[in-house]
A and B are shown apart, each in its own frame.
Chain A
Amino acid sequence: MIKVNSTTRKILIPLFSILAGFLVGAIIMLFYSYDPLQAYGSMIQGSLGSTVSIGETLRQATPLIFTALGFSVANSAGFFNIGLSGQALAGWVASIWVALAFPDLPTFVLLPLAIIAGALAGAIMGAIPGFLRAFFGTSEVIVTIMLNYVALYLSTYLMQEVMPAHFRSSQDATKMISHHATLHVDWLSHMFGDSRIHFGLFLALIALVAVWLLMKKTTLGFEIRSVGLNPFASEYAGMSSKKTIIMSMVISGTLAGLGGVMEGLGTYQNFFIQTASMSIGFDGMAVSLLGSGSSLGILLSALLFSILQIGGLGMQTGAGVPFEIVSIVTASIIFFVGIDYVISKLFKNKDNANKKLPKTPIAKEVVTEEKDAQEGGRL
């Protein structure tokens, strides 16, 4: 065990988790007699090796940042939002619909309109489980999972049966949106070698700051956090936990909806039939949990996820590692980052090191927390 102060510990734990993940990935590849060095080399090459691949990696990270932020806001209020995929899908469909309905409006009207439509659709999808939980105490996990299916098949129905036929190019896809509604900016794409990177990246960065401000500097943010910590105490202190839960889910849904808008107006430029829940929903949860819900953490882990995903594609070509092994390797890296609690046992806060502590690890944590709480109380 190594004794370090708490700041370095915070940096070392994720770093070692990532390294351990890569190490296990390497062992798996060695086991199947692939060259791990070459494979990781082509992963880096595939995700960061050229301007195009950097652009694609950033593009991949954009919607993940939104869905991860969405998850973290709800999570702060003690709400486990598994419905990110459905909310994102609603945002995607709504933004494309608006974009196709008014293709000739000028950009400065149409683009914000389409984005807002998507955000609203996500907010509504998020408000439903929030409302049900606040007033009827239903389990948000079940409701959001089921709403994902509702959103999935409703989107197909809306596209095939409700959307005007001239919006569609075939039964399975809509037409491309006009250049008035796209998030693509020529100079940005050119800068990154004609990749699909789009203006949404900046919106994602703004959202990172905005959510940080919301959670740390506003009354609503404070209420969300305190309801998450103890709804009864918050109620006693005069906050409406019902209102707060619904608000946190509306915000969460809005952010997830914006994630879907990024896919629609940014990545794909149209909507096409989805056959499974959107992966940005579930990846967003993982990104948020890895980044421990903080804005900076989310940014970094979204980038890590994107590097693994885009770089994983590069491993197929560069090193000839089959797709399935690539999936196992990337999953094991994420797995190790996820269990950083185990890695954290490697390092010890220097302050606590000299204290006599009970032997069980859980009890140890409790004592540490209690100590922190006491210090907080004195302040």
Chain B
Amino acid sequence: MKKAKVFTMGILAAAVVLSLAGCSGKKSATTDTGSKDSGKTTTKTVALITDTGGVDDRSFNQSAWEGLEAWGKKHDFSKGNKGFNYFQSKSESDYVSNINSAKAAGFKTIFGIGYKLQPAIKQSAEKNPKLNFVIIDDSIEGLDNVVSATFKDNEASYLAGIAAAYTTKTNIVGFVGGAKSDVIDRFDAGYAEGVKAGAKELGKSVKVINQYAGDFSAPDKGKSIAQGMYQQGADIIFHASGATGNGVFQEAKAINQAGSKKVWVIGVDRDQSDEGKYTTKAGKSANFTLTSTLKGVNKVTEDLSEKAFKGEFKGGQHVIYGLKDDGVGLAKGQLSAKTQKAVDQAKQDIIDGKIKVSEHPAK
């Protein structure tokens, strides 16, 4: 009797598992095509492989996703396997797996968002010469199905440095980096040079406090670093740290809401003025996002998706976006007229080649 029971249970378990698998096979075939928001479908599908930050990091990845969404909206494509979609990675080993599943789902153009995906994109591009690949923030040479897109973040950060030098009252400003790397070096170097140049024009000296979180997705670390910097007297912090920067915003919000002093944050990669909204003690609404460096990741994803859609995707090239072609820039934010003027002047000087901004900070 006991054995019979075990047997029936085994059968039961097997039946459950089988029915799970069976149903799903049928289901997926039908639901793939019919998505919730009845958009059109396309064969020129686009997939976005994010780094571990994810598409809601309020900066880099989100900007890339917004560009793709804009492209999808333009053509009325829907999110999913017949339009466009993103694949979030939990760890670095997921990049290749995610690219594989994007490939298996039939995506034709695959974006690698961030320098961390460079090896994975390179490897997959070699194996799949018929698919289009894009790597952002890094370059892959010698493969004619890959477009590399990098940005002169140092130029935008230089402008942020000018803005910080003109705005600071304590003459101490901060910089929070994600992880030390070639990309973040550009932000670090540009900002330091901008602050220095701005301070020189005003005839004062401004100190830059520099700290790295060692992580792009650790808001808790961002918050405690910001806390330390504001305590040391900094009144402006520029963060180039992805989702870690959300912690910087949290800390600034807490200080500003308490109302004892006014501190600022300079956002990164996309206009982060939404993150800086707060209500003062007097009940008025205000904003502490001084400005944000802009990085045209959204433009690149939108533009290259469109090119792929039209069949004009041309691999094998490395496109560098700078101030000149509006690939990077500085948001209007809360800059005073005087500061804005100085920023505009510096921008013109960079475009004219009068100012050269370093890519690596001086040691």
Contact = CB atoms under 8 A, between A and B. Distances in A.
Contacts of A4: 2, 5-6
B21 A44 contact: yes
Interface string B162-194: 000000000000000011111001000000000
A101 to B, nearest CB: 20
A202 B85 CA distance: 36
Interface in A211-253: none
A196 interface: yes
B2 A317 contact: no
Given A41-B20, A194-B127, A267-B93, A317 B105 contact: yes
B96 interface: yes
A331 B218 CA distance: 21
A158 to B, nearest CB: 13
B143 interface: no
B119 interface: yes
B27 A268 contact: no
Nearest to B89: A313
A40 B20 contact: yes
B336 interface: no
A171 interface: yes
A56 to B, nearest CB: 5
A21 to B, nearest CB: 13
A45 B6 CA distance: 29
Nearest to A160: B180
Contact of B2 (A5, A39, A45, A50): A5
A41 B27 contact: yes
Contact of B5 (A2, A194, A195, A310): A2
Contacts of B105: 317-318
Contacts of B101: 46, 53, 313-314, 316-317
A8 B6 contact: yes
A292 interface: no
Interface in B12-34: 13, 16, 20-21, 23-25, 27-28, 31
A156 to B, nearest CB: 7
A186 interface: no
A365 B281 CA distance: 60
A42 B24 contact: yes
A273 interface: yes
Given A170-B181, A327-B90, A313 B21 contact: no
Contacts of B9: 12
B116 to A, nearest CB: 7
Contacts of A195: 100
B97 A156 contact: no
Contact of A268 (B6, B87, B119, B214): B119
A312 B102 CA distance: 13
Contacts of A173: 119
B116 A272 contact: yes
Interface in A35-65: 35, 37-42, 44-46, 50, 52-53, 56, 60
A230 to B, nearest CB: 37
A171 B23 CA distance: 49
A38 B19 CA distance: 11
Nearest to A194: B127
A221 B177 CA distance: 48
A19 interface: yes
Interface string A278-314: 0100000000000000000000000000000110111
A37 B24 contact: yes
A316 B2 CA distance: 42
A56 B24 CA distance: 22
Contacts of B16: 19
Interface string A252-270: 0000000000010001111
Contacts of B214: 152-153, 156, 275
Interface string A102-121: 00000000000000000000
A79 to B, nearest CB: 27
B61 to A, nearest CB: 12
Nearest to B35: A320
B5 A270 contact: no
B152 to A, nearest CB: 17
B24 A44 contact: yes
A265 to B, nearest CB: 14
B88 A172 contact: no
B285 interface: no
Contacts of A156: 179-180, 214
Given A172-B182, A268-B92, A313 B97 contact: yes
B151 interface: no
A3 interface: yes
Contacts of A269: 119
Contacts of B216: 275
A319 interface: yes
B93 A170 contact: no
A328 to B, nearest CB: 13
A210 interface: no
Contacts of B321: none
Interface in B199-255: 214-218
Given A41-B28, A44-B24, A46-B101, A263 B6 contact: no
B144 interface: no
Contact of B87 (A38, A44, A176, A317): A317
Contacts of B97: 56, 310, 313
A279 B119 contact: no
B98 interface: yes
14 contacts: A8-B2, A15-B13, A53-B100, A53-B101, A56-B96, A171-B185, A172-B115, A173-B119, A273-B180, A310-B97, A312-B90, A313-B94, A317-B102, A319-B31
5 A-B pairs with least C-beta separation: A41-B24, A275-B215, A172-B181, A323-B88, A38-B27
Given A19-B16, A38-B27, A320-B79, 5 more contacts: A37-B23, A156-B214, A317-B81, A317-B104, A323-B88
Interface of B: 2, 5-6, 9, 13, 16, 20-21, 23-25, 27-28, 31, 35, 54, 79-81, 85, 87-88, 90-94, 96-98, 100-102, 104-105, 115-116, 119, 127, 178-182, 185, 214-218
